[in-house]
Chain A
Amino acid sequence: MIPLAKISKLTGGILAALSLCAHAAEAPKNVDVKQFSKKVEDVVVPLPNEVFGALNKLGGVNWREYVRNDKGSNFTERPRIALLLGSVIADGFIAVQAEDAPTVKDIGQRVLSLAKGIGVGNSITPHAKAITEAADKRNWKGVRQELDKTQNSVQQAMNEVHDQKLSQLVSLGGWLRGTEVLTTVVTKRYSEEGAELLHQPDLVNYFETRLQAMPEFNLKLIQDIHAALIEVRPLVDVGEAHIPPASVKKINEITTRLGDAITKKTP
């Protein structure tokens, strides 16, 4: 993959001009999405900061309240490390929202140590360094970009060694932490617009299906997450209706419980 940094500003200018003279795309106003049922790629898992960005636009979020300094336990089971890694990367995005440079730097080091724990440390070392440098300069855009690169590099490295399932657990860990914070914010100050950000039934289905296909990860935590997703699905699959405060609170209880279980050693 060619990183963005390698793309020339000159070609950017050419493309900008190109888009001006490009044709407005004409497309059918309606399509039968069912015709694509066999040609649909898996749902794309958004980065935690996509939902944080949307939440931020609703106003009034004191991100410092949600910065987590607990680094989590040291695990030996690779699925647990993968879940924690995703959760810690999500914490990195929260620390960026809070513009908390020391925590961002700690998280960069923690991510590196977790990545080493699952054998993909080499691919992360340059990103951990870049996170520290960008945090020192308070270059928050740069930190966000490096966190995205970190997650992408970890997952690519896992995919290369056919550890796609661990890669999916990284995404799941990030999604759970993001949902925990989203529901905490919306529970504190409910709005229909804030609750609507939880309308993610396809993502819940996606993770549920993926967990079903991981019988080899015979861990109580994985089973608990699977059961929790089944519980969450009807709460977010509401069609055109609003997600009520009680549902937001329930999802918050579930994701907070899972978040604790991901970070702490349980008997």
Chain B
Amino acid sequence: MTSFLKPAWRAALIALVLAVAPSGLGSVDDAQAFALQAADPYIKEGFQVREDYWGGDLAAGEKKAVRQQLFKGNEYWFWLGSEVETAKVSVHIYDSEGKLAEQPDSWQKGHFAAAHIIPKSTGSYFVIVEVESSPEERTHWALVYGFR
């Protein structure tokens, strides 16, 4: 559709569209674009980002858990994004017993957040996403992950 545009211009156009779009008209796909933005710097560090992603909408203060099989030996990052730029979101990883399992370099900044884990054992983990605050009644979120 936009093959006549050079990649840098195309990316800039996408960023512009996302920036000016009224938040109430956003979608999970828009939230995913922001989650992928958060992931982008890590691709250069060798992380393979999964094409698949998980998303939905949450009210402020509401949480959602995604159950994830992780393998000892791999290193994972989970990136959370929302298109509501004034929202504050968070993501944290817990083991199957409910114990916080993420690395201390996990971070949170406004409508972006990321959690880093080097699993100590192979098994199921809970990735818990939260919309901590938002001006919207429901806030879209999307979660992507990468591993190396």
Contact = CB atoms under 8 A, between A and B. Distances in A.
Interface of A: 1-2, 4-13, 15-16, 18-19, 21-25, 27-33, 36, 39-47, 49-51, 53-55, 57-58, 141, 144-145, 148-149, 151-152, 155, 193, 196-203
B86 interface: no
B100 interface: yes
B8 interface: yes
A57 B72 CA distance: 10
A36 B99 contact: no
Chain A interface secondary structure, helix, strand, loop or mixed? helix
Interface size bracket, B side: 35 or more
A54 B63 contact: no
A9 B9 CA distance: 11
B108 interface: yes
Contact of A33 (B104, B122, B126): B126
A50 B74 contact: yes
B65 A33 contact: yes
Contacts of B126: 31, 33, 36, 40
A24 B72 contact: no
Given A19-B109, A54-B122, A58-B73, 10 more contacts: A1-B51, A11-B11, A22-B108, A23-B109, A24-B104, A25-B90, A30-B100, A33-B94, A44-B67, A148-B51
A197 B122 contact: yes
28 contacts: A1-B51, A4-B43, A8-B40, A12-B37, A12-B43, A18-B112, A19-B107, A23-B108, A24-B107, A25-B90, A25-B113, A27-B90, A31-B94, A31-B128, A33-B126, A36-B63, A36-B128, A44-B54, A44-B68, A54-B72, A57-B73, A141-B48, A144-B48, A155-B52, A193-B73, A197-B72, A198-B122, A202-B124
B92 A4 contact: no
A44 B66 contact: yes
Contact of B107 (A22, A144, A151): A22
Interface in B6-57: 7-8, 10-12, 14-15, 29, 32-33, 36-41, 43-44, 48-54
Contact of A41 (B64, B69, B121): B64
B58 to A, nearest CB: 10
A7 B68 CA distance: 25
